[in-house]
């Protein structure tokens, strides 16, 4: 007897309502079919039409996962909007999955291998990115508030009772710095609380990873087949401990280092200071080493924190306690009391007060930021070099990282038995040559798994020449720098009543922040230039497509010519994204690399951007820098607003949700403080639903004998991950429909270890049926800007769009141009579903009985 077939549809990024996924058009009357929940809950549920009957040969079911990212219009939208402020962490985490050459079995990856070193460098960069955020918070609390705000006029502008820092005991010595240290520590507590809540968010799916060999294939051919890929709560917690503890160490190091440099400790102060330095150094050292160890780099389900995590927590608490004790002690015999090194009171009321025109920011803070950013640039160069050319390319960035501080020490006269440096040579002049030296590794030939294969389909080569992890992480770094600089500038403006940088009087922002404003203004101009280039390409492609649609004799009517212009626009967009988008992003990444290099040199120069010695056009540069600083001040607010609209406005959701859902699809294997991965719940749920229905007994009324996993856009990725996680005994009863699919042109180029030309055929082989026919059909349109052929051995079916240029069959409206939507309504889709249904309804066991 023929069996029943279930078409299980998985929507894309737009959080399509279940009724629309099921194709239930609104109709008048109370008896119109509506979706009803058959499994799951309101967050992630499986829906069927109320008109569905048990004896239907094909039943359509919709899996709705969009609430995990879009959500309902509730108070939780505010929390989710704040997740967008963690976008730099998201991009850094995605970079880990963009590595080429990840072994099919992640458990076989070794630290010294190409992918292992790249993974360690990326995790190290993620750790530094957390430090960037904490450095900014420390700058606000320790430098701007506790050090530079010295009177009630300044402290009164801060919410809360901060005026006590201007009086009595708190005004003396370095006592105020201990209070200012509370701001970054509170931020770390909030990050830890948010991370803990998001770990629970991902753990809502109760299914544990399968560990028995019978549930998995004998030999993995794709990392997505790893049974722990979507189950890493223990890894997240351990990595979260390291990030939070290193963040606390970075926060404590700023006031601790400044006080030690200004007032060398003796006696009791030395007995507290140097052990505290040792504790903080031990925390950072353990974290750097642990990032490459299996207990942190492997995902192993819900595992305990372990002894090392407890040790790091204890060392961090002791280091922070020692820092606070040192700050609360009286000054040592430094000669000049620390309180006298702070700005004089009354500068905001009377700028002519003696000493107000001198920069009184926290000594060493500008230096820390500048060198920290330069180190991150060198780290990104190392990531790109190793990812592209293997371990041999690491020599150039390592050499640069060693020579740069040695050169600065030589100029400062700290190296014995060396000739004196030229008088005009300054340390910042060495940064550009050093970064250029590190960049040599980016130009070495591609090797190993990153090398292009012969006879590859056009526009499917490795994205950005194998430098993808550095490109993605670099954008996260630039965005993080922009966030932090904007917040520092905004706080400075509030403390000085809107004019923080005029004549550098009163509270002044760090010098690198001023250069960041100039760089941001240039980056915005470069983005405008990139948009112009994309517009010109689109115009050229549209003309080409229009010429293909209109015959040479141009006998079409005016109406049909207008329709041809509309169709050619969508076809041009299809080609623009598929053929040019990755390259355009690469050009912008090159601009970002240049800005990062020049910005590092400028930050190390200790000169403001309006200095005449820098450009000769001080007023022009100052104006551009001020505009950039003002834009940076509003950037975090703008990003959070867009994030809120993503969750509440469908139009904004469709526009920017693609990027958000790409980032949060991947599990947090590199940065534990990034927003949660919706796939860590969606994939196990869909896997459980699929296997559960196929495992029902023969006489169970809910039993199905075959399932068509039907994925649209981002749902294609979810379905692919589910299929690769399922045992072979269930895969032989599944057929895969993909439409609006980006597996080749985008995901295959950016994430080659999962969807590259060498790994994607694993999915085809997993679904291959008897007589070698593939169990995968891909639908695509040449008007779909996000859907292309897959070319991985599957069955590709082009879908005509529109059906005609003018009304047909008695209709009076033009057939719609559906581009990225409406695939199940197409005639090609319905015919293919009928054919696949017939194949899946054949008596079981089918000719696949040799597969187990």
- pLDDT tens profile 478-499: 999 999 998 998 898 888 875 4
User: What tokens were used for 758?
Assistant: 């060498």
Which residues contact residue 705 at a Cβ distance below 8 angstroms, ignoring those fewer than 6 apart? 3, 4, 5, 733, 840, 841, 844
| CA pair distance 690, 506, nearest whole angstrom | 65
pLDDT number for residue 654: 61
Q: Look at 59-73, 192-206, 329-343 and tell me which has the smallest mean pLDDT.
A: 192-206
Strand partners, 180: none
Q: Dihedral (C-alpha) 424, 425, 426, 431: value to the nearest 10 degrees?
A: 150
Average pLDDT over every residue of 644-664:
69
Length of the chain: 852
| Percentage, residues of the chain above pLDDT 70 | 88
Give the HSE-up count for residue 334: Cα atoms under 13 Å, Cβ half-sphere. 21
| CA pair distance 203, 197, nearest whole angstrom | 10
23-34 burial, b if ≥16 CB within 10 A, otherwise e? ebeeeeeeeebe
DSSP helix, strand, coil percent of the chain (3-state; round to 5): 60, 5, 35
Q: Look at 173-177, 292-296, 448-452 and tell me which has the smallest mean pLDDT.
A: 448-452
Task: Examine residue 845 and say whether the peptide bond preceding it is cis (omega within 30 degrees of 0).
Answer: yes
* Cβ contact 258:361 at 8 Å: no
Q: How confident is the model at residue 335 (pLDDT cuts 50, 70, 90)?
A: low
Mean pLDDT of the chain: 86
pLDDT number for residue 248: 98
Q: Dihedral (C-alpha) 604, 605, 606, 610: value to the nearest 10 degrees?
A: -130
Question: In this structure, what DSSP letter does residue 795 have?
Answer: E
| CA pair distance 536, 530, nearest whole angstrom | 10
Which residues contact residue 169 at a Cβ distance below 8 angstroms, ignoring those fewer than 6 apart? 175
Which residues contact residue 425 at a Cβ distance below 8 angstroms, ignoring those fewer than 6 apart? 411
- Distance (Å) of CA 851 to CA 630, 732, 847: 64, 8, 9
* Cβ contact 227:216 at 8 Å: yes
Asked whether the CA dihedral 534, 539, 542, 547 is positive or negative, the reply is negative
User: What tokens were used for 13?
Assistant: 């990024």
Q: How confident is the model at residue 852 (pLDDT cuts 50, 70, 90)?
A: very low
pLDDT at 550 over 70: yes
β-pairing, 58-64 with 776-780?
unpaired
Distance of CA 733 to the CA centre of its chain: 36
* Cβ contact 735:707 at 8 Å: yes
| CA pair distance 317, 322, nearest whole angstrom | 9
| CA pair distance 197, 292, nearest whole angstrom | 26
Q: Tokens 């980032």 correspond to what residue? A: 663
Phi, psi of 731 (to 5 degrees): -65, -30
Strand partners, 5: 58, 706
| CA pair distance 163, 547, nearest whole angstrom | 72
β-pairing, 734-739 with 776-780?
parallel
3-class DSSP assignment, residue 736:
strand
* Cβ contact 149:155 at 8 Å: yes
For the stretch 755-785, pLDDT in tens is: 998 899 999 999 986 666 789 999 999 999 9
Strand partners, 736: 709, 776
Question: In this structure, what DSSP letter does residue 666 have?
Answer: S
Average pLDDT over every residue of 173-198:
91
pLDDT at 608 over 90: no
Largest CA distance in the chain: 97
> Helix 307-328 vs helix 268-290: angle between axes, to the nearest 10 degrees?
150
pLDDT number for residue 501: 45
Average pLDDT over every residue of 826-851:
75
Asked whether the CA dihedral 274, 279, 280, 282 is positive or negative, the reply is positive
pLDDT at 622 over 60: yes
How many other C-beta atoms lie within 10 A of the C-beta of residue 49? 20
| Percentage, residues of the chain above pLDDT 90 | 55
pLDDT at 210 over 70: no
Q: Look at 176-190, 486-500, 612-626, 687-701 and tell me which has the smallest mean pLDDT.
A: 612-626
pTM of this prediction? 0.93
Helix residue spans in 422-510 (DSSP H): 431-438, 468-495
- Distance (Å) of CA 28 to CA 20, 21, 53: 16, 19, 21
For the stretch 640-651, pLDDT in tens is: 777 666 666 666
More reliable by pLDDT, 536 or 616: 536
3-class DSSP assignment, residue 61:
strand
| CA pair distance 822, 492, nearest whole angstrom | 51
* Cβ contact 487:606 at 8 Å: no
| CA pair distance 722, 718, nearest whole angstrom | 6
pLDDT number for residue 847: 41
pLDDT at 213 over 80: no
Average pLDDT over every residue of 513-525:
91
3-class DSSP assignment, residue 5:
strand
Can you count the helices (H) and strands (E) in the chain? 29, 8
For the stretch 109-140, pLDDT in tens is: 888 899 999 999 999 999 999 999 999 999 99
- State the DSSP string of 242-259: HHHHHHHHHHHHHHHHHH
Q: Tokens 């050292």 correspond to what residue? A: 285
pLDDT number for residue 106: 83
């Amino acid at each position: 007897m023929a069996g029943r077939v279930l078409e299980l549809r998985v929507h894309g990024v737009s959080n399509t309502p279940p009724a629309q996924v099921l194709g239930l058009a609104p109709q008048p009357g109370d008896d119109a079919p509506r979706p009803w929940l058959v499994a799951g809950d309101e967050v992630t549920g499986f829906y069927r039409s109320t008109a569905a009957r048990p004896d239907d040969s094909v039943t359509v079911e919709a899996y709705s996962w969009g609430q995990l990212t879009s959500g309902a219009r509730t108070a939780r939208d505010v929390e989710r909007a704040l997740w967008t402020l963690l976008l730099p962490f998201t991009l850094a985490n995605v970079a880990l999955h963009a590595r080429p050459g990840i072994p099919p079995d992640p458990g076989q990856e070794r630290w010294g291998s190409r992918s292992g070193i790249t993974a360690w460098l990326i995790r190290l960069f993620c750790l530094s990115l957390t430090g960037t955020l904490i450095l900014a918070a420390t700058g606000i609390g320790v430098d701007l508030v506790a050090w530079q705000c010295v009177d009630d006029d300044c402290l009164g502008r801060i919410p809360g009772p901060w005026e006590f820092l201007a009086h009595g005991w708190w005004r003396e010595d370095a006592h105020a710095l201990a209070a200012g240290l509370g701001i970054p520590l509170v931020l770390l507590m909030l990050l830890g609380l948010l991370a803990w809540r998001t770990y629970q968010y991902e753990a809502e799916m109760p299914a544990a990873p399968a560990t028995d060999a019978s549930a998995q294939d004998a030999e993995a051919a794709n990392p997505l087949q790893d049974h722990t890929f979507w189950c890493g709560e223990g890894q997240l917690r351990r990595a979260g401990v390291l990030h939070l503890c290193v963040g606390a160490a970075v926060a404590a190091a700023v006031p601790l280092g400044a006080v030690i440099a200004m007032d060398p400790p003796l006696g009791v102060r030395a007995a507290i200071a140097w052990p505290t330095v040792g504790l903080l150094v031990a925390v950072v050292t353990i974290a750097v080493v642990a990032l490459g160890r299996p207990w942190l780099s492997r995902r192993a389900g819900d595992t305990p924190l372990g002894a090392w995590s407890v040790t790091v927590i204890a060392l961090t608490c002791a280091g922070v306690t020692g820092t606070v004790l040192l700050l609360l002690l009286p000054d040592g015999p430094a000669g000049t009391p620390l309180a006298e090194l702070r700005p004089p009171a009354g500068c905001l009321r009377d700028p002519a007060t003696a000493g107000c025109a001198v920069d009184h920011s926290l000594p060493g803070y500008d230096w820390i930021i500048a060198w920290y950013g330069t180190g991150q640039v060198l780290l990104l160069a190392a990531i790109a070099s190793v990812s592209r050319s293997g371990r041999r390319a690491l020599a150039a960035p390592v050499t640069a990282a060693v020579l740069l501080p040695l050169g600065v020490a030589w100029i400062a006269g700290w190296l014995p038995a060396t000739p004196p440096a030229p008088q005009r040579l300054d340390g910042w002049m060495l940064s550009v040559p050093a970064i250029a030296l590190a960049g040599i590794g980016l130009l070495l030939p591609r090797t190993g798994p990153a090398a292009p294969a012969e006879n590859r389909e056009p526009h499917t080569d490795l994205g950005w020449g194998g430098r993808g992890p550095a490109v993605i992480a670099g954008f996260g770094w630039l965005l993080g720098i922009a966030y932090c600089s904007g917040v520092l500038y905004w706080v400075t403006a509030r403390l000085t009543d809107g004019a923080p940088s005029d004549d550098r009087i009163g509270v002044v922002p760090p010098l690198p922040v001023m250069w960041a404003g100039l760089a941001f203004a240039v980056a915005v101009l470069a983005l405008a230039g990139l948009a112009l280039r994309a517009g010109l390409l689109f115009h050229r492609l549209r003309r080409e497509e229009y010429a293909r649609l209109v015959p040479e004799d141009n006998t079409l009517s005016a109406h049909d010519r207008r329709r041809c212009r509309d169709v050619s626009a969508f076809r041009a967009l299809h080609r623009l994204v598929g053929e040019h988008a990755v390259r355009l992003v690469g050009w912008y990444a090159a601009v970002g690399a240049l800005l990062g290099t020049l910005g590092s040199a400028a930050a190390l120069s200790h000169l403001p951007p309006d200095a005449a010695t820098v450009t000769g056009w001080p007023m022009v540069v100052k104006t551009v820098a001020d505009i950039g600083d003002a834009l940076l001040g509003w950037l975090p607010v703008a990003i959070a607003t867009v994030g809120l609209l993503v969750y509440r406005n469908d139009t904004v959701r469709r526009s920017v949700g693609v990027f958000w859902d790409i980032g949060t699809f991947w599990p947090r294997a590199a940065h534990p403080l990034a927003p949660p991965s919706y796939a860590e719940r969606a994939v196990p749920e869909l896997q459980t639903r699929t296997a559960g229905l196929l495992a029902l007994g023969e006489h169970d009324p809910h039993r199905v004998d075959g399932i068509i996993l039907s994925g649209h856009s981002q749902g294609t990725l979810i379905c692919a991950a589910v299929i690769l996680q399922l045992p072979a005994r269930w895969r032989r009863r599944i057929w895969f429909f993909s439409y609006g699919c980006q597996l080749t042109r985008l995901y295959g180029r950016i994430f080659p270890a999962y969807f590259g030309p060498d790994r994607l055929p694993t999915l085809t082989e997993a679904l291959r049926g008897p007589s070698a026919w593939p169990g995968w059909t891909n639908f695509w349109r040449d008007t779909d800007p996000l859907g292309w052929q897959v070319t991985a051995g599957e069955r590709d079916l082009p879908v005509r769009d529109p059906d005609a240029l003018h009304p047909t069959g008695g209709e009076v409206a033009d057939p719609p141009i559906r581009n990225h939507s409406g695939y199940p309504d197409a005639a090609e889709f319905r015919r293919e579903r009928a054919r696949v249904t017939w194949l899946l309804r054949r008596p079981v066991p089918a000719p696949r009985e040799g597969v187990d």
